[in-house]
Every structure is written in C-alpha cells, then in structure tokens.
C-alpha cells in the first residue's frame, strides 16, 4: 500500500491499491470483520473532518486568498530574499495551522514559486520551507494534520487545551527551522533584487478571510456545546461552496472533487490494514520498547521512536500504530508521538504523504530536488527541532497540567 502511494503507477490514486489490500486483510482473516467495522467507525469522524477542511482550503484558493498571500509576501520582501523567507515562514505556518498541511503543499507552494519568479530570487529556500513547514508547522491545532485529528481523538483533550499545550512546541520547532534555513541557504539569500512596483496586486478576499476566522471560532465553540468540530468545518466549506456555485466559479462536481474522496478511501483502508498488522504482533513488539510514563526522558524516547517509525513506514501508519500503545499513559505521551510523526518526516521523502506530493509539484515546476541536500537539511533540522519541541512540551505539561 505504501509503495503504491509513493510510486502511484500510471498516476492511479492511492485508493486503487489500498482498498483491495484492506479487502484481502479482511477476507483472509488477518482482521475480523467486526474489528474492521470498529476501525472504520473510529476513523469516520476524522475522515469527515479532513474532507471538510480540504474543501474549505480549495474554496479559499478559488476566492483568491492564496494569491493575496503571495502579493503580501512580495510587499514584505521589498526586494530582499531574507525578508521573503521570513514572510514565507509566517504565511506557510499560518496556512498549515489553520487550513492543514495539504493546503500549504498543494496551494501555497505554486504561489511561492510565482512570487519568487516575480521578485527574481532563487526559489529553492522558499520552496523547501513549504515542505518543511507543512510538517513542522502542523503541530498547533487538531485540524492542521490528519495525524493531529487522530491524536486529538485519542488524547481526550479539548480543542483549546490541545492548542494550549502545543503552541510552545510549535513556536520552538518553527524557530529552529528558520535559524537553520537562514544559515544553510545563506548564499541563495544574499543577493538583493529590484523592489516590485506593486502593480497588479490582487484585492484581499475579505469574505473568504472572515469565513475562515468564523470557522476557527467554531472549532473552539462547538465542543463546549457538545457538537463535533467537524460541523464547524463543514459549515465554513458550505458557505464558500454556495458562494462559488452562485457566482458560477465552480461546479458541484468540482466542489465534491475537492474533498479528495480517493485519498479519504486510502486513509480508511490504511487504517484497516494497520489494525491488522497491529493485532498480529506489531503491538507486542512495540509495546516492549515504547517508554512508559510522561517524564522528560520518556517523552523524548516516545518522540524519537515515532520519528524513526514515520521515516520507515510513513507517518500516518506510524501514528495509527503508536496511539493505542501510548494513550493509556495520558495526553503527554500522545502529543509526544505527534511531535515525532510531524517533525520527523522532514528527514526523508517517504516520511509523509505531504512531502511526496510536494516533490511532484516541484518537479512540475521544472525544479530539481537533490536527495543529498534534502537529507542533510533534514539531519540539521529534525533532531534539534524535535528535541527542543519535546522539552517545550514537557514544560507546557508541567505548567498547564496534563
């Protein structure tokens, strides 16, 4: 399944191999049908939430929110590549946190390419920032990443509690990435370029921005009312969808396609297959090496194990495997897993599906990605960002409790 997701033979969706694999797992008895149903029921709300956020991000792009972001980055840069890098970090971190890492990879990366071309700067530092921040900056909110949604469900935390515990690790990890990027790409960032005249700056799409802000507020309010936050995401997507349909900017088919149904099917099938692997021995093996407790050494061990596992089998299977083993220890251990599976994938191409997708987009823009450079940059950022983020999480748990 993972090989099919990485290679995607003949350009086929991930689900083409994943769904039959799940059927084989059930049909062969590797996982009882009842357990498969339980896994589907557990993942159902998470997948619904993901679908709504994907549609919301796509509709925001249609409204021009990302083009406006590109214009803002160009103004902030004022002809200085270093300032452009800072603007990319700010915007990519915000987009990843609010609209998920998929929005950063699929929608923001092309905007960054266009902005770099408009300013006449070398695109590499800014484009690499998109993939690193699609992973690292996805720590803040439950909606930022599919792994977060899974961890959020397992942690028992409220939306605001989750964000409160993760804000400091989020800031620390992003700061480490920025420092390393400034040093590593100092040659690309050294040359000054002409300041753009600002002609053709697109207007700020106020309606889309207000809808996103209201949706975020809904994420906070709905749990207090006993309502699943997925309904807030669905409401935001519905508002923008109705507007797009009324203005004939999109068709019903295009809106439905933005949900990424084949990818959602892949996630569901992957959950069933991973459950089969866990039930047939992997849980026993990992159970003997997963550190217990929520002290700093234990949290560091859990995060390191999660990062290694993410780079071996991809971060989505890794989080599905580790959450049942760490949830009994409390939310601290669950969030440590999240740090490992979100920051760790910056080390290799195969660490997350978002990185694989980013690589395809970069190639579409006829820009080469050097494996050695990508790996060395990962070695410089991942251990430092992960270690300091875990320390920040431990401090947050100590101060805020949990």
Of 304, 380, 391, 317, nearest to 351 by C-alpha is 317
Average pLDDT, the chain: 87
24's CB contacts (< 8 A; 6+ apart) are 30
Contact 215, 236 (CB under 8 A): yes
| pLDDT value of residue 198 | 54
| pLDDT value of residue 389 | 97
CB atoms < 10 A from the CB of 21, how many?
Answer: 18
Higher pLDDT, 173 or 225: 173
Tell me the pLDDT band of 240, cut-offs 50, 70 and 90.
Answer: very high
Q: What is the mean pLDDT of residues 316-328?
A: 88
Which secondary structure element, helix H or strand E, spans residue 319, and what is its range? helix 315-326
Q: How far apart are CA 141 and CA 216, in angstroms?
A: 10
Q: What is the mean pLDDT of residues 125-143?
A: 93
| pLDDT value of residue 53 | 81
Instruction: Give pLDDT tens digits for 9-27.
Output: 777 787 888 899 999 999 9
| pLDDT value of residue 182 | 94
Length in residues, the chain = 402
Q: How far apart are CA 230 and CA 55, in angstroms?
A: 12
| pLDDT value of residue 197 | 55
Res 290 pLDDT > 80: yes
CB atoms < 10 A from the CB of 30, how many?
Answer: 17
| pLDDT value of residue 340 | 96
Res 100 pLDDT > 70: yes
Tell me the pLDDT band of 343, cut-offs 50, 70 and 90.
Answer: very high
Res 402 pLDDT > 80: no
Higher pLDDT, 299 or 122: 299
Res 332 pLDDT > 90: yes
CB atoms < 10 A from the CB of 34, how many?
Answer: 8
| pLDDT value of residue 193 | 62
Give the dihedral sign, CA 235/236/237/238.
positive
CB atoms < 10 A from the CB of 141, how many?
Answer: 25
Pick from 134-143, 289-298, 350-359: least confident: 350-359
Contact 255, 273 (CB under 8 A): no
Res 377 pLDDT > 70: yes
Instruction: Give pLDDT tens digits for 38-87.
Output: 888 888 877 888 788 888 888 988 888 888 888 889 888 887 899 999 99
Q: How far apart are CA 274 and CA 265, in angstroms?
A: 14
Instruction: Give pLDDT tens digits for 188-216.
Output: 888 656 655 555 677 888 999 899 889 88
Highest average pLDDT, of 123-132, 165-174, 227-236, 259-268, comes from 165-174
Tell me the pLDDT band of 6, cut-offs 50, 70 and 90.
Answer: low
CA-to-CA dists, residue 65 to 57, 61, 108, angstroms: 9, 5, 10
Q: State whether residue 249 is helix, strand or coil.
A: coil
| pLDDT value of residue 362 | 81
| pLDDT value of residue 128 | 94
- Give me 322's structure tokens: 């580790």
Q: How far is CA 27 from the centre of its chain?
A: 33
Q: How far apart are CA 358 and CA 370, in angstroms?
A: 13
Pick from 187-196, 256-265, 333-342: least confident: 187-196
């Amino acid at each position: 399944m993972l090989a099919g997701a990485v290679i995607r033979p003949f350009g086929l969706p991930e689900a083409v191999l994943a769904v039959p694999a799940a059927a084989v797992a059930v049909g062969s008895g590797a996982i009882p049908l009842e357990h498969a149903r339980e896994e589907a029921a557990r993942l159902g709300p998470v997948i619904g939430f993901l679908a709504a956020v994907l549609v919301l991000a796509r509709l925001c792009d249609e409204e021009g929110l990302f083009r406006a972001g590109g214009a803002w980055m160009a103004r902030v840069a004022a002809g200085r590549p270093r300032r452009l890098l800072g603007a990319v970090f700010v915007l990519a971190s915000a987009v990843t946190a609010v609209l998920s890492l998929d929005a950063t990879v699929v929608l923001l990366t092309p905007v960054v390419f266009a902005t770099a071309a408009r300013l006449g700067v070398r695109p590499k530092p800014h484009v690499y920032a998109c993939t690193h921040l699609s992973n690292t900056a996805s720590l803040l909110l439950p909606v930022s990443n599919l792994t977060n949604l899974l961890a959020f469900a397992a942690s028992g935390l409220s939306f605001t509690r989750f964000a409160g515990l993760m804000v400091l690790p989020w800031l620390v990890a992003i700061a480490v990435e920025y420092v390393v990027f400034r040093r590593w790409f100092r040659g690309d960032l050294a040359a000054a370029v002409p300041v753009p005249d600002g002609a053709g700056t697109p207007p700020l799409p106020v309606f889309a921005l207000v809808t996103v802000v209201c949706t975020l507020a809904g994420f906070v309010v709905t749990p207090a009312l006993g309502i699943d936050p997925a309904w807030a995401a669905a409401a935001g997507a519905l508002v923008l969808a109705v507007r797009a349909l009324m203005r004939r900017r999109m068709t019903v088919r295009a809106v439905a396609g933005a949900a990424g149904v084949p990818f959602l099917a892949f996630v569901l099938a992957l959950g069933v297959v991973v459950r089969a692997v866990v039930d047939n021995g992997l849980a026993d093996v990992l159970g003997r090496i997963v550190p217990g407790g929520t002290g700093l050494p234990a949290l560091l061990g859990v995060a390191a194990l999660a990062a290694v596992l993410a780079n071996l089998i991809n971060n989505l299977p890794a989080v599905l495997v580790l959450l049942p083993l760490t949830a009994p220890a409390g939310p601290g251990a669950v969030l440590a897993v999240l740090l490992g599976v979100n920051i760790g994938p910056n080390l290799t191409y195969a660490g997350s599906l978002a990185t694989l997708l980013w690589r395809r987009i970069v190639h579409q823009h006829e820009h080469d990605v050097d494996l050695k450079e990508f790996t060395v940059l990962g070695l410089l950022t991942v251990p430092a960002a992960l270690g300091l983020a875990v320390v920040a999480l431990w401090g947050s748990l100590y101060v805020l409790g949990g």
